[in-house]
Each structure stands twice: as structure tokens, then as C-alpha cells.
């Protein structure tokens, strides 16, 4: 019995110290070096965050948007990317200045009950993105190596071994690997778009939003521009990226007694984040351009990964002779599958780190990264295995559609979790108590509230269609009415939970301010995370 207890203590431990303690403050950045050398040393966390903005969940929405509406939704990709830059800047700044990640900062001001609710909600959001990664990686293995889908799904579980290897080589090397995989994805799609010779005038014109961008008509391929825009926004801005960035922004050593050093770290973290998110913007823009220029208009009948792979090897779907001749060799489809596999592996790394961040922050529980990954992946694999098993006796098209629907429908959890990361982030980075002189400027505050309110409203607006998607491609009138009723109920629940969160955060801030005033302490961080600060100062 004693041995069992010891083993459990080793696997699952209490955690209330620094965020991602194993890598916190492990990267030393020398002073008195050039701007470019400093930028290189600070670069890396932004790449891990950018991965979430170009994961497999983005692919079909961007390509289908191009197929259906030409370059109309380019402005949606641009707006989503700019909002992402703003939110990620605030997340990184929160971690650097407060020495707490977003989950820790929320939990320090809220009750245990709310912490558990937010933890469970965010876990579901992470698992939803993990389902897309499982499907993407399994399909890539099937397409590249002809491995049966069920076996390919099981193989994705063993990417935990890859993660275990990466944890042994150091965080900077993990950042480098992620950057290399991002470049693979970027080069693959840039090559395919270059061959397509797109209408660049139309591309740049599409970057300017118009009244048609968010219109409810016309309906093309079962979707209107508003639904296409909501799909792109929903697949782009994800809650787990905010938790992740607030944690990994703390991997650089910082002298927290030096305001100048903190300001320097915030500045270079912003440069890193914006550069990497610009690359993510180009990847998503290239995906949309692919939908317009690589394929003939309306040629892609199956927007799933299977359909896109087949379309890239079918000369009849190509928009010009050059693409058709290259497609005949199978290079285009093979490169697509390679990029899909790279995207899945990238997301594996970031998803695991995020899971650890929210578990430690919200419920003060820590487990080894490999175990954390194994648990999350096994749970995410179950619905994929059920989906594959249920369609194994049906046609290939039915199997493809079922997997695509599962991936798209799982994203409904993101609409739940997103406001609960954005709103606290904005409230805390607006707070002088939390951030001191690093609190949001007036224009950042205004744009932040506009983004938070806008994204929340759009997510709620798109929720009925997302719920309807659970009933298949051709729901009955009764099913549609039921879906809208469920959506209305969920919206009420979300708004009630948001109100609960706002009230507790406000109350927690007042209590913290009173405590600091009574104790005469200058820093909110010292009151909330004394142990973490002392450990950092010892370093």
C-alpha cells in the first residue's frame, strides 16, 4: 500500500508554484546585444502560439470559403489575425509582468467552485482541438502510407513518445522544431498557390471588408458568407492559445526588480508573437487562395481532408494546365498530406503544454507531460474510433463525411470556452493593481473590448448552426427547431457563467487591493504567488 501511495504522489502532485516550472525562466537572454540577436533569443513562444491558428481545424473552413465566395472572406482572415495579435500580446504581457499565467491569475481571484467549472470547460475545448488533430494525423498516415484508419488512429496515441523525447532536449530545441514544421506548411501551400497564378488584384481587394462579407445571402454550397466568416473566426481564435502564451512567455529569465528588463521582455515578446502570427495569416490566406485559384470553381465537392487530397491529384479539378501536369505526378496531394501531418504534430506539442497550464492553474494539480498527453489523447481518440467503426461498413464517402462532421461539430466547445479566457484577460491587463505601468493603453483597451464583445456575439450568433450540424447535412424542420432551442439555452448558461466570472473577478480584485493596502505590499503578485516570486528571485 505504501508503494502504491508513493507512486501516486510521483505521478499526480500538488502544484501552486511558477507556471510550467520545469521550463520557467530557463532561457537566458544576454543584455547589451543587437536588436536582431535579442529578437532571435526571444523568438519561439510566438511560434508555439501561432500553431493554434493554422491547425487542421482551419483548413477546410478557409478552402471552402474560397471555393464558395472567391476572395470575399480574405478580410475575415485578416481581421481574425489582427484580433489574435492583440489578444496574444495581452496574454504574453500578463505572464511576463504578473509572473502568473492566465489560469493562475483567474484562480487567484475566484472561488474553487468556479475554478473547477472553468477548468472542465477549457479541458473540453482542448479535447475538441485534439479531435481535429487526431483526425488530421490519422488521415495523413492513411493517405501517405495506406495505413487503415482505425490503426492510424491508434498510432496517433503514440505521439506521446515523441513528446517524451522532446522534453529531454530543452525548450529552445522544441521551439526550433515547431518553427521548422511551420515553414514546411508555409512552403507547401506557397508552392501550390504559386503554380495556380491567382488574381492578385482580387486577393488584395478581398482584404477590405464590405457589406457582403457578413451577409446572410447568397447561399453557395449550403453556406452563406456570414456562416463562412463565422467558421473562419471560430477556427482561428481559440481559448487555449491565451493560456499557453501567458505561460510560455515566462520561459525567458527576467529581473523582476528591473522595470527596464520587464519592458524589454514585453517588447520582444510582442515582436515574436506578431511575426509568427503574420506567418499564420499567410498560411490561412494561402489556404483560401487555394480554394479559389488552385481548383476550378465548385470543383471541390468533398471539403474533407480526403476530398482535398483526391482533388489535388485529379487533373480535372485543377484550374490550369501547369497545375494539372504537376497534379498528375501526385506531388501536390503528397505535399498536402505531409503538411497535414506536420500541422497535427505541432498541435500535439502545444496542446499538451496548455493542458498542463490549466490543470496546474485552476485545480493546482500536476502530472508528467507524457501522462497528461496520454490521458487527453486517449479520451479524444474514443469519439474518432466510434465514428470510424460506425461507418466502416458504409461507403468511403460516408466515412469521410462522418469524420469531417465530427471534426467540425467538436468545435462547438470553443464557442463555450472563448469568452471565459478573453474577458478575464482583458479585465486583468486593464487593471493597474495587476499590471502597474504596464496596464493596457487607452487604444489597446478600446480595441480589446471591441474584439471581446464582437467575438462573443459572433460565436453566440453561430451557435445555432453549430448545434444544427449535429443532426447531419439535411436536418428536418423539427431538428432545426430543437437545435435552435438548445442553442438558446446554452447561450443563457454561457451568459450566466460569464456574469458569475465577472462578479468573482471584481470581488477578488477588491479583496486583493484591500489586503495589499493593509499589508503595505506594493505588488499584487507578491500577495497571490509569494512562493513563485521567491523561487524566481533565487534563480
**Residues 28-40 pLDDT 10s:** 888 889 999 999 9
The answer to whether residue 92 scores a pLDDT higher than 90 is yes
Mean pLDDT of 296-313: 81
Which H, E and C letters describe 26-84, residue by residue? CECCCCCCCHHHHHHHHCCHHHHHHHHHCCHHHHHHHHHHHHHHCCCCHHHHHHHHHHH
Q: Which of 174, 95, 117 is nearest to 369 (CA)?
A: 174
Average pLDDT, the chain: 83
Lowest mean pLDDT, pick from 106-115, 203-212, 464-473, 501-510: 464-473
Quick one: cell of 507? 470581488
Quick one: cell of 147? 495505413
pLDDT at 269: 95
Indicate whether 2 belongs to any domain.
no
Indicate whether 537 belongs to any domain.
no
The answer to whether residue 209 scores a pLDDT higher than 50 is yes
The answer to whether residue 462 scores a pLDDT higher than 90 is no
Eight-class DSSP state of 252? B
Indicate whether 3 belongs to any domain.
no
Q: How confident is the model at residue 539 (pLDDT cuts 50, 70, 90)?
A: very low
Higher pLDDT, 125 or 207: 207
The answer to whether residue 141 scores a pLDDT higher than 80 is yes
Q: Please say whether the beta carbons of 90 and 520 come within 8 A.
A: no
The cell 504534430 sits on which residue? 345
pLDDT at 286: 92
Mean pLDDT of 402-430: 84
Within 8 A by CB and 6+ apart from 394, the residues are none
Indicate whether 5 belongs to any domain.
no
Mean pLDDT of 489-507: 92
Q: Please say whether the beta carbons of 259 and 271 come within 8 A.
A: no
Mean pLDDT of 139-159: 87
The answer to whether residue 389 scores a pLDDT higher than 90 is no
Higher pLDDT, 64 or 265: 265
Q: How confident is the model at residue 10 (pLDDT cuts 50, 70, 90)?
A: low
This prediction's pTM: 0.87
| CATH code: domain of residue 306 | 1.20.1740.10
Indicate whether 357 belongs to any domain.
yes
How many structural domains are present in the chain? Answer: 1
> What CA–CA distances, in Å, run from 225 to 54, 67, 297, 400?
21, 12, 16, 24
Exposure on the CB side of residue 403, measured as CA atoms within 13 A = 32
Domain span including residue 482: 17-517
Mean pLDDT of 446-475: 84
The answer to whether residue 521 scores a pLDDT higher than 70 is no
Lowest mean pLDDT, pick from 14-28, 157-171, 274-288: 157-171
Higher pLDDT, 3 or 487: 487
Eight-class DSSP state of 441? P
What proportion of the chain, given as a percentage, has pLDDT over 90?
31
Mean pLDDT of 380-400: 80
Indicate whether 202 belongs to any domain.
yes
Give the model confidence (pLDDT) of 233-291 as tens digits. 877 778 888 999 999 999 999 988 889 999 999 999 999 999 999 999 999 999 999 88
pLDDT at 529: 40
The answer to whether residue 517 scores a pLDDT higher than 70 is yes
The answer to whether residue 426 scores a pLDDT higher than 80 is yes
Indicate whether 8 belongs to any domain.
no
The cell 451568459 sits on which residue? 495
Mean pLDDT of 70-96: 94
Q: Rounded to 10 degrees, what is the CA torsion of 174, 177, 183, 185?
A: -100
What proportion of the chain, given as a percentage, has pLDDT over 70?
92
Indicate whether 476 belongs to any domain.
yes
Amino acid at each position: 500500500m505504501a508503494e502504491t501511495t508513493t507512486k501516486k504522489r510521483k505521478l499526480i502532485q500538488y502544484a501552486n508554484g511558477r507556471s510550467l516550472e520545469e521550463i520557467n525562466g530557463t532561457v537566458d537572454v544576454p543584455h547589451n546585444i543587437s536588436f536582431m540577436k535579442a529578437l532571435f533569443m526571444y523568438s519561439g513562444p510566438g511560434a508555439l502560439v501561432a500553431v493554434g491558428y493554422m491547425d487542421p481545424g482551419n483548413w477546410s473552413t478557409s478552402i471552402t470559403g474560397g471555393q464558395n465566395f472567391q476572395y470575399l472572406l480574405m478580410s475575415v482572415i485578416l481581421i481574425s489575425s489582427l484580433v489574435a495579435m492583440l489578444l496574444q500580446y495581452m496574454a504574453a504581457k500578463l505572464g511576463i509582468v504578473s509572473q502568473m499565467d492566465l489560469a493562475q491569475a483567474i484562480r487567484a481571484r475566484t472561488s474553487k467552485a468556479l475554478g473547477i467549472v472553468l477548468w472542465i470547460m477549457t479541458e473540453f475545448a482542448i479535447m475538441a482541438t485534439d479531435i481535429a488533430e487526431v483526425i488530421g494525423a490519422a488521415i495523413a498516415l492513411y493517405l501517405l502510407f495506406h495505413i487503415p484508419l482505425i490503426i492510424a488512429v491508434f498510432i496517433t496515441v503514440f505521439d506521446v513518445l515523441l513528446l517524451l523525447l522532446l522534453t529531454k532536449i530543452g525548450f529552445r530545441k522544441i521551439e526550433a522544431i515547431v518553427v521548422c514544421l511551420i515553414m514546411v506548411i508555409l512552403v507547401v501551400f506557397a508552392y501550390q498557390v504559386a503554380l495556380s497564378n491567382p488574381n492578385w488584384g482580387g486577393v488584395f481587394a478581398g482584404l477590405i471588408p464590405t457589406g457582403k462579407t457578413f451577409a446572410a445571402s447568397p447561399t453557395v454550397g449550403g453556406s452563406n458568407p456570414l456562416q463562412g466568416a463565422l467558421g473562419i473566426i471560430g477556427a482561428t481564435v481559440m481559448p487555449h492559445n491565451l493560456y499557453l502564451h501567458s505561460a510560455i512567455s515566462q520561459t525567458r529569465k527576467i529581473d523582476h526588480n528591473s522595470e527596464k528588463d520587464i519592458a524589454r521582455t514585453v517588447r520582444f515578446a510582442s515582436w515574436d508573437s506578431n511575426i509568427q502570427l503574420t506567418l499564420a495569416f499567410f498560411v490561412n490566406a494561402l489556404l483560401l487562395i487555394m480554394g479559389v485559384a488552385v481548383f476550378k470553381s465548385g470543383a471541390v465537392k468533398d471539403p474533407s481532408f480526403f476530398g482535398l487530397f483526391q482533388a489535388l491529384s485529379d487533373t480535372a479539378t485543377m484550374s490550369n494546365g501547369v497545375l494539372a501536369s504537376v497534379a498528375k505526378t501526385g506531388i501536390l496531394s503528397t505535399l498536402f498530406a505531409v503538411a497535414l501531418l506536420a500541422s497535427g504534430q505541432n498541435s500535439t506539442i502545444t496542446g499538451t503544454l496548455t493542458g498542463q497550464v490549466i490543470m496546474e492553474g485552476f485545480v493546482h494539480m500536476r502530472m508528467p507531460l507524457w501522462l497528461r498527453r496520454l490521458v487527453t489523447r486517449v479520451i479524444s481518440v474514443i469519439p474518432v474510433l466510434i465514428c470510424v467503426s460506425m461507418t466502416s461498413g458504409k461507403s468511403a464517402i460516408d466515412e469521410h463525411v462522418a469524420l469531417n462532421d465530427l471534426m467540425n461539430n467538436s468545435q462547438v466547445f470553443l464557442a463555450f470556452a472563448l469568452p471565459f479566457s478573453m474577458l478575464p484577460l482583458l479585465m486583468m491587463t486593464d487593471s493597474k493593481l495587476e499590471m502597474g505601468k504596464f496596464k493596457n493603453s487607452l487604444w489597446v483597451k478600446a480595441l480589446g473590448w471591441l474584439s471581446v464583445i464582437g467575438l462573443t456575439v459572433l460565436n453566440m450568433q453561430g451557435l445555432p448552426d453549430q448545434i444544427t450540424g449535429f443532426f447531419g447535412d439535411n436536418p428536418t424542420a423539427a431538428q432545426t427547431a430543437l437545435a435552435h432551442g438548445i442553442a438558446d439555452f446554452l447561450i443563457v448558461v454561457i451568459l450566466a457563467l460569464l456574469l458569475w466570472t465577472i462578479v468573482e473577478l471584481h470581488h477578488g480584485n477588491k479583496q486583493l487591493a484591500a489586503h495589499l493596502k493593509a499589508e503595505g505590499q506594493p505588488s499584487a503578485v507578491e500577495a497571490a504567488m509569494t512562493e513563485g516570486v521567491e523561487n524566481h528571485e533565487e534563480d
